[in-house]
C-alpha cells in the first residue's frame, strides 16, 4: 500500500474514521466534510488511484461498492427521494484523494449540471 495514501491508512485503521461498514475487501465511512445530509464514502481495500485505472478484474468489486452504497441509501431512507453516486476523476472534477472512492450523496435536492 502506498505509504502516503490517506484512504489506505483509513482502511488499515491507522487514521480514525466514522465507519459505516467494513469487510475484508471494502469499507464505507462518513465524509469528514459532508456536502449533503448523507455523505458517505465507499472505498476498496485495494489501492486503485482513480476510476480511470479500473480494470476488468475489478468488475465484482465495483458491483459490490455500488450495492453497498445502495444499501446504505436504503438504511438512511433516502432511496425513494433519490441520491447521487459520484466518482471524481482528476483536478477538473475535484478529485483530492487518489484512492478510488464512491461518494454517496443525498438528503437534499441536488442541481444538474453539477457545479
Ligand atoms: P474527492 O474530492 O472526490 O477526491 O473526495 C475526497 C473526499 O474525502 C472529500 O469529500 C473529503 O472531504 C474527504 N476526506 C478527506 N479526508 C478525510 C478523512 N480523514 N476522513 C473522511 N473523509 C475525508
Ligand atoms: Zn490508497
Indicate whether residue 96 lines ligand 1 (CB < 6 A): yes
- pLDDT (0 to 100) of residue 3: 79
| 10 CB neighbour count, 10 Å cutoff | 21
- Most informative mutation of 31, 50, 95, 102 for ligand 1 (most atoms within 8 A of CB): 31
As a whole number of angstroms, the distance between CA 88 and CA 97 comes to: 9
- pLDDT (0 to 100) of residue 115: 87
Those residues of the chain that have pLDDT short of 50 are: none
- pLDDT (0 to 100) of residue 109: 97
- pLDDT (0 to 100) of residue 83: 98
- pLDDT (0 to 100) of residue 65: 98
Cell numbers given for 9: 491508512
- pLDDT (0 to 100) of residue 107: 98
What is the layout of strands, in order, in the sheet containing 83-86? 19-22, 26-30, 38-44, 102-106, 83-86
| 46 CB neighbour count, 10 Å cutoff | 15
Q: Domains in the chain and their CATH numbers?
A: 6-106 (3.30.428.10)
Task: Enumerate the active-site residues.
Answer: 101
Evaluate if pTM is beyond 0.85. Answer: yes
Which residue's C-alpha cell is 431512507?
A: 77
As a whole number of angstroms, the distance between CA 43 and CA 4 comes to: 16
Amino acid at each position: 500500500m502506498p505509504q502516503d495514501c490517506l484512504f489506505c491508512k483509513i482502511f488499515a485503521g491507522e487514521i480514525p474514521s466514522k465507519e459505516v461498514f467494513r469487510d475484508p475487501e471494502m469499507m464505507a465511512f462518513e465524509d469528514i466534510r459532508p456536502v449533503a445530509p448523507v455523505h458517505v464514502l465507499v472505498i476498496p481495500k485495494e489501492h486503485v488511484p482513480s476510476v480511470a485505472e479500473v480494470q476488468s478484474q475489478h468488475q465484482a468489486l465495483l458491483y459490490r461498492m455500488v450495492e453497498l452504497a445502495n444499501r446504505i441509501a436504503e438504511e438512511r431512507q433516502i432511496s425513494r427521494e433519490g441520491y447521487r453516486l459520484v466518482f471524481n476523476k482528476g483536478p477538473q472534477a475535484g478529485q483530492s484523494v487518489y484512492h478510488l472512492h464512491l461518494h454517496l450523496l443525498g438528503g437534499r435536492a441536488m442541481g444538474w449540471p453539477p457545479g
